[in-house]
Amino acid sequence: MLRGSKIVAGVALLLLFLTVSFGFGYHVGSQQAEKRMIKMLAESPTLGLVQEAIDIIEENFYQEVSLKKLIPGAVKGTIEALDDPYSHYMNKSVYGEFQEESSGSFSGVGIEIDIVEGQLTVISPLENTPAHRAGLKPGDKIVQIDGKSTKGISREKAVSLIRGEEGTTVILKIVREGEDKPLEFRLIREKIKYPNVITKMLDKDLGYLRIHFFYGDTSSDVKEALDKLKKDGAKGIILDLRSNPGGLLVEAIQSASLFIESGPIVIEKYRDGEEKVHGATGDADEKIPLVVLINKGSASASEIMAGAIQDKKRGKLVGEKTFGKGCVQSVEMLSDGSAIVITVAAYYTPNGKEVHKKGITPDFLIKSVNDEANKIDEQLEKAKEVLKEMIYSSSSSNSSSKE
């Protein structure tokens, strides 16, 4: 290998590492800058080891290898060395899919997945999607995709395998708690479009509001939905966060602020000991009774909202303990159009309760066992019961105060 190509490799590698460190693309603007970077590379024992490895590969590997392949691999390996299932590298193609998903539309089967304890796991199926209709559940372990083992697979690789052209088929083999044998699901991909927020009236005076994700304009949609439900005569609200895998922190805070008038919503804690408190933004209706539905598919941003409502005694939680993803990720785009998702902080409820790996425990524990024959949603029925008691109690209190 020529010395000149070694220098180019070193500069390129250092640029990638600087990009990872600072979260933005960095370009050499002069020969002096190049010389400084080469000197930094030479003086850095850690980066020097990586350069040594690249030299050995380029001089000895039995096939030609492009730096375009080696350097992204080095970045990916760096992120994987963090041993954090929520930090990962996305190549340009996967990052494009991530942006598409964040916009609320993509082609696939409709499941939120992640790596949990080293195993590809279903966080939640999206309502009225191929995965949901087929019966996939939160906590299902995906052990094979189209006959190939998922052992050691990254989240981004799994996403790229499960998604695909509309009308094509993907076969998932699932291990489910309580089942003796793996289950196989043959799913036909389709265009996934989901309304972020849906509403309806229950029993004439109970308003039902469901949030699927915290993306885009979720908080604006929630405010609009709340106003409509109250105009329709709702005396209380059932907020359904079941199987909501999370999304944008700011949208969770703003949505929670529609119910909580003042005080902290969530506390972020950083590695240097710094704490950042995100408070309510105001304009909340704290008078209308509120019950929140949660389950083990409720994660991240939905846990922030549920935890704040519980800590502030703003409403009652019904359902199952939540997933327990109490960490905040930042998406940083790299200079080549790829990106890294990196965990930057842990979050805690207003009362300082840790959420990560612990979850939020409901006030009323109701297992997620629906009566399919009679179409009975036991958790929803309990939420209606609790909400009616709250409405009655509130009405009685108001009547007593007037007398």
Spatial separation of the C-alpha atoms in residues 106 and 98, rounded to whole Å: 9
- The sign of the torsion formed by the CA atoms of 302, 304, 305, 306 equals positive
Q: Any catalytic annotation for residue 44?
A: no
Q: Which residue of the set 325, 338, 382, 384 is catalytic? A: 325
Beta strand pairing call for 364-365 and 339-348: unpaired
**What SS3 class is residue 7?**
helix
Token pair of 154, please? Answer: 């990254």
CA angle 122, 126, 132 (to 5 degrees): 80
311 is catalytic: yes
Catalytic residue among 114, 140, 221, 311: 311
Residue 326 is encoded by which pair of tokens?
Answer: 């109490």
Q: What tokens were used for 98? A: 């991530």
DSSP for 183-199, written as a single string? EEEEEE-EEEE--SEEE
From 255, 300, 302, 338, active-site residue? 300
Q: What angle do CA 105, 110, 113 make, to 5 degrees?
A: 110
Q: What is the CA radius of gyration of the chain?
A: 25
**Is 219 tagged catalytic?**
no
CA 397 vs CA 286, 295, 309, 339, 390: distances in Å: 15, 32, 22, 55, 10
For residue 303, give both structure tokens. 């846990």
Residue 242 and residue 296 in contact, taking contact as beta carbons nearer than 8 Å? no
- List the catalytic residues: 300, 311, 325
